[in-house]
Amino acid sequence: MDFLTTDPDVLDGYRFDQAGFCDAGMPRALARPANTAEVAQVLRHAYEERIPVVPQGARTGLSGGANAIDGAILLSLERMAEILEIDEVNHTATVQPGVINSVLSRAVADKGLFYPPDPGSWEISTIGGNVATNAGGLCCVKYGVTSDFVRELEVVLADGRVLRTGRRTAKGVAGYDLARLFTGSEGTLGVITEITVALRPATEKPLTAVAFFATAGAACAVVSEYVSTGRRPSLLEFMDKPTVDAVSAYRDLGFPDDVEGVLITQSDRGAAAPDDLAAFAEVARAGGATDVLVASDEAEAELLIEGRRLAGVAMERLGPRLVDDVCVPRSRLAEFVEGVAAISREHGVPVPCCGHAGDGNMHPNVVFDSEDPDSVRRGQAAFDAIMALGLRLGGTITGEHGVGMLKRDWLETELGEVGVAVHRSVKEAFDPRGILNPGKVVRGR
């Protein structure tokens, strides 16, 4: 296999994804196959020899799902990066797994089409990785997540057999929905080598509005109120005060003082967008907004969304952090955000909290000092407390980042005994020798 290396220096660069608090083992080799046949060759060998295989995209994941395992072959799909077809009539695109999300998104946009899933990592993450983790993003609130766009997959199974599953047609119920089962399975059931996604017609450029609130709870209440009007925002994001402070410290955007919660929304309904934003402004003011800014053109819209765009990089400057990813019913958002603030106080770690409010999907960022064992311990405790809070509010421990290594224990709590047992049965049906990303998502027996 000339696409395989055992050079320790090279291997070292492929050991980690971007998760905090996750260890990585020492792999035996890195395979960078150029096609499905080479992927199958790796799997056949690994199956025969019972060697663990860790599939990898761009390693931008946040849960350790792509982290190396001792003695494993790292199977990077980065060289399989071709857009195979964009079907402008049937509105589908067929790609190899290593295609970068933004490359696909721009290629289809050039043809007047739209691939909505837009994880924060979209400029660097791959479609294969997006499918393996069922990535979300800012557009989800209106357009859905990655799995809503997956039509057909080619998957190399644990023993090297090649499965095509799903279909290119708009509808189809011939057999079990295995394409969905592979989507979000984090490389534990098979290795995805080709993907056909659905596309939509391009939308209009969005307009933006921003509302400022004196309490985080008031901002969250407005989220439910606004969605209840029947409007479907193409983006509806929340930032709490610590997030706003981090952004302001990074770049002064002229946010007002004493803001405890910010909502940012967009509408991409073209001529109807100003009406959507006016309705948002009305609901926000009725809900106690201290100020509402509504963009009247694209340039202003870009300016208003800037604060949310900068949140990630601004928070990176706060130091090491654990990004959490809890999703709760929209109606429980205020309780969640207030609960996170209480957890932050209780454990003595900053936890700026922002996220996709329209979906109830929040990203509390637990900031800690990695040099201080007590701070690390308190950070971990806060992280756990946040997931417990999410479950208590009827939510899930992960809205879009996945389980990987980071949340295996919490997954068992969420699934319960029967759920865990069924997950193990499914895992064993696809991976009887336990070689596919073992120890990720589902623990072995």
Candidates 241, 344, 359, 379; binder of a copy of itself (CB under 8 A) is 359
The Cα 428–Cα 179 span in angstroms is: 18
Told to check if 401 binds a copy of itself by CB under 8 A, we report: yes
The stretch among 29-37, 290-298, 366-374, 417-425 that binds a copy of itself (CB under 8 A) is: 417-425
The three state secondary structure string of 342-406 is HHHHHHCCCCCEEEEHHHCEEEEEEECCCCCHHHHHHHHHHHHHHHHHHHHCCCECCCCCCCCCC
* Alpha helices (H) in 287-332, listed in sequence order: 298-316
The number of residues that bind a copy of itself (CB under 8 A) is 85
Per-residue mark of binding to a copy of itself, 102-141 (x: CB under 8 A): ----------x--------------------xx-x---xx
Q: Which is nearer to a copy of itself, 18 or 290 (CB)?
A: 18
Candidates 119, 339, 350, 399; binder of a copy of itself (CB under 8 A) is 399
Residue type present at position 79: R
Told to check if 363 binds a copy of itself by CB under 8 A, we report: no
Candidates 167, 309, 433, 443; binder of a copy of itself (CB under 8 A) is 167
Candidates 8, 9, 89, 299; binder of a copy of itself (CB under 8 A) is 89
Told to check if 444 binds a copy of itself by CB under 8 A, we report: no
Q: Which is nearer to a copy of itself, 53 or 150 (CB)?
A: 150
Q: Which is nearer to a copy of itself, 202 or 310 (CB)?
A: 202
Residue recorded with tokens 């919490």: 410
Segment 142 to 161, residues that bind a copy of itself, using CB under 8 A: 145, 147-148, 157, 161
The Cα 123–Cα 99 span in angstroms is: 11
Q: Least distance (Å) from a copy of itself to the CB of residue 188? A: 9
Told to check if 443 binds a copy of itself by CB under 8 A, we report: no
Decide the pairing of beta strands 92-95 and 191-198.
antiparallel
Q: Which is nearer to a copy of itself, 302 or 384 (CB)?
A: 384
Segment 11 to 70, residues that bind a copy of itself, using CB under 8 A: none
Residues 94, 107 contacting (CB under 8 angstroms): no
Residues 90, 21 contacting (CB under 8 angstroms): no
Mind giving me the DSSP string for 167-202?
Answer: -SSS---SS--HHHHHTTSTTSS-EEEEEEEE-EE-
Segment 331 to 350, residues that bind a copy of itself, using CB under 8 A: 331
Told to check if 228 binds a copy of itself by CB under 8 A, we report: yes
Residues 192, 155 contacting (CB under 8 angstroms): yes
